[in-house]
Amino acid sequence: ASLPLLCFRSPLVTPLILGLLLQAPFTQPSTITQPNFVLLLADDLGIGDVGCYGNDTIRTPNIDRLAKEGVKLTQHIAAAPLCTPSRAAFLTGRYPLRSGMDAINDYRVIFWNAGSGGLPANETTFAKILQHQGYSTGLIGKWHQGVNCESRNDHCHHPLKHGFDYFYGMPFTLISDCQPTETPEMDRAFRRKLWLSTEMIGLITLTAVLGRLTGLISVHWKTLTWLAGFSLLFFISWFSSYGFVRYWNCIMMRNHGITEQPMVTDRTTSLILRESISFIERNKHKPFLLFLSFLHSHTPLLTTEKFLGRSRHGLYGDNVEEMDWMVGQVLDAIDKEGLKETTLVYFASDHGGWLERQEGERQLGGWNGIYKGGKSMGGWEGGIRVPGIFRWPGVLPAGTVTDEPTSLMDIYPTVVHLAGGEVPQDRVIDGRDLLPLLRGAVAHSEHEFLFHYCGVHLHAVRWHQKDTGAVWKAHFMTPIFSPPGAGACYDRGFCPCFGEGVTHHEPPLLFELSQDPSEAKPLSADTEPLFDTVIRKIGRAIEEHRRTLTPVPEQLSVSNVVWKPWLQPCCGTFPFCWCDKEGDN
């Protein structure tokens, strides 16, 4: 922000007045002991979906108000392009592969509430540190970091084991399977193969039986019985999980107890908003951390009737505008309780918008503005560059914009330091305290390099050359778009991280993002005199970074992500899992 040009005749008065203007509005953080924190994290929201980031057709007045009253980050980067790993990095301040929360296979997120993988118990979240500092800590909304390890009630990965005093929301993530009227989304291609295999086995069995009855085939009844039994067992083996996704994954919990199984989607938005405001009201007399993890704007885009048809971008736009309204309701609750001056509010998205998410002519995923790529793409900016806004009246200068590279992992040390805690000294913390940058005390981000992973595969590296202001980015692997030139992997639904679906680049693709943010014009040794120097510098940074990595158990291995009946959270006696504790009765 710049001060208005002031003209005074006296050369002695001018410095005095300017000095007062510069110093008076912003309170030193040390004079505010333990501010409240309200962290607002959208799901699958593209940076191009928000008004203050250039969208002039989706109305987001409340998010825009946050930017007007605070600091807007234009180069805010997620540590991963998918929900589970990005949120693990957000909670721990560490690249997700350090905690085993990124995948070596195609199962790149937690797939079931009844899987055994999740955020390890030895990881220390910012909520756990704030809890030790005397904060009341609450998580409302989406978790997606696992639930159980060995039994359905051990809750080893549950939010209450990771520093949250209170949890209300989905332990999993919102998917189209949660809405009975929507086309199933979860593992859609694999499910089709299972149905096809079941039909083929059934057809073979039926043909054999008819052949035996008509005498055309000589086969023993014992063989036919075995074949029929195999057909039935094969069907049960997969349908017991995939046939009941809505009951197994679409559940709501309050602390350790299940309140809805399956969730009643018509009232989910109002319940999440009610719980968020109630948490603020209950804890207004002591320092609190509220992590409101929106289910918006992930498919199936649960939107109340009040907002349907209001936007110019169909159901997706309606959903984003409803989320913005929810942001406004939370901000109003903060104001109503007189907490505005003592509360740091943060808004971001967990990664970029999902370009491939379509149903016929309907676009159900977000827009990433001028940036190439989207959700699931670890290197391209559209998958990892997200909105990032901080507001703290009296401490952070209003209406400020910073173009410095920052990360969702930076929330960890920023929040911990402001709460009077210390980050763990026994592990690498990749996030950096943002407060000096946000207040304008320093000109540059502490990040010199940021490493962009797709699963455990390093796709790209960003180097912030602070002395020149250049932001170099080298791509070592990029996904192959399908159809060619489409800008996303529409034929697959998701872009892969490895294998035949990616191109390896030697030498790497190099871009200078401050001049080419859309990554449209790759540089070469012929066009960029510093090409070899930059590539060598990034190569040395990669070597140094890899020396800090240590082997950890893979939380997203196939054995950890598969459905395990004995781990299934159940409101009732398994497999008869059903309840509605939020209803009128």
Q: How many CB atoms lie within 10 A of CB 471?
A: 22
Do the bridges between strand 579-580 and strand 257-261 make them parallel or antiparallel, or are there none, so unpaired? antiparallel
Do the bridges between strand 257-261 and strand 252-254 make them parallel or antiparallel, or are there none, so unpaired? antiparallel
HEC string of 353-377 equals: CCCCCEECCEECCCCCCCCCCCCCC
Ordered DSSP codes for 290-346: EEEE--TTSTT----GGGTT-SSSHHHHHHHHHHHHHHHHHHHHHHHTT-GGGEEEE
CA distance 67 to 397: 11
Catalytically annotated residue among 76, 144, 298, 475: 144
The amino acid sitting at 259 is T
CA distance 542 to 257: 45
- What backbone phi and psi angles, to 5 degrees, belong to 277? -65, -40
CA atoms lying within 13 Å on the CB side of residue 101: 30
Least Cα distance to 329 among 44, 55, 61 occurs for 61
CA distance 270 to 450: 38
Least Cα distance to 83 among 375, 460, 458, 494 occurs for 375
Least Cα distance to 517 among 43, 54, 80, 93 occurs for 54
Q: Does the N-terminal peptide bond of residue 483 adopt cis geometry, omega within 30 degrees of 0? A: yes
CA distance 47 to 351: 9
83 part of the active site: yes
Say which residue the tokens 């790209």 belong to: 460
76 part of the active site: no
- What backbone phi and psi angles, to 5 degrees, belong to 9? -75, -35
Say which residue the tokens 């104001």 belong to: 335
Judge contact between 583 and 267, C-beta under 8 A: no
Catalytically annotated residue among 83, 178, 250, 495: 83
Judge contact between 157 and 147, C-beta under 8 A: yes
Q: Does the N-terminal peptide bond of residue 218 adopt cis geometry, omega within 30 degrees of 0? A: no
Burial 256-270 (b: 16+ CB within 10 A, else e): eebbbbbbebebbbe
Task: Please give the positions annotated as active site.
Answer: 83, 144
